[in-house]
Amino acid sequence: MKISLGTDHAGFLIKNKVINFLQSLGHEVVDYGTNSAESCDYPDFAYKVALDVSSNKSQKGVLICGTGIGMAISANKVPNIRAGVCWSKETAQLISLHNDANIICVGARFASFEDICDWIKIFLETKFEERHSKRINKIIQIEKDFCTNNK
Ligand code: RB5
C-alpha cells in the first residue's frame, strides 16, 4: 500500500531504516522528512502526512517523534484522521482493531528500532472490527460538528 511518513529530529535517526523496512514489505513510501538531525517542529510533518491520508493520496501514515504524542495531537486536528500512539504490540493491534486508526505514531526515544518496526507491521496488517463502528461514527460526528467544510 501507499504510506506517507514523517519524523521530526527525534525520529530522524531511524527514519531511513523504517523506510527500508516498509519497502522490504512491498509498500510504497512517501517521505516527508525531516532530512537532518537539526531541531525542527513535529506539527509540520504531521500536517503533511495527515493531509495525504485525509485525502486518500495514501492509505496509511507513519509519524515518529520523541514520544509519538505531539505527532498524534497534531495529526488528529486534520479531518478524517484517527492517529493513535503505540507503545506495544497490543496497542499497535488495538488502534486498528478498535479505533480504525489511519496513522500510527511512535516515540523513537522510548522504543527500539526493532520494536517500532514490529508495531508498524502489526498496525498495517490488522483490520478494523466492524463491531466498533458505532464509536467511530461518534468520533466522525464530533468532527462534523466542528468542521463546516466536512459535512
Ligand atoms: C522534541 O524534542 C520532542 O518534543 C518531540 O519529538 C516530541 O516528543 C513531541 O511530542
Q: What is the CATH number of the domain that holds 62?
A: 3.40.1400.10
> Which pLDDT score, from 0 to 100, does residue 7 have?
98
Which pLDDT band, with edges at 50, 70 and 90, does 129 fall under? very high
Measure the CA–CA gap between 85 and 103, rounded to whole angstroms.
9
Tally of domains in the chain: 1
pTM (predicted TM-score): 0.96
Asked whether the beta carbons of 32 and 6 are under 8 A apart, the reply is: yes
98 is catalytic: yes
105 is catalytic: no
For ligand 1, whether the C-beta of 43 sits within 6 Å is no
For ligand 1, whether the C-beta of 66 sits within 6 Å is yes
Residue range(s) defining the domain that contains residue 69? 2-149
Q: Give me the phi and psi of 137, to 5 degrees please.
A: -60, -30
Share of the chain above pLDDT 90, in %: 96
Measure the CA–CA gap between 82 and 66, rounded to whole angstroms.
19
From 27, 40, 65, 117, the catalytic residue: 65
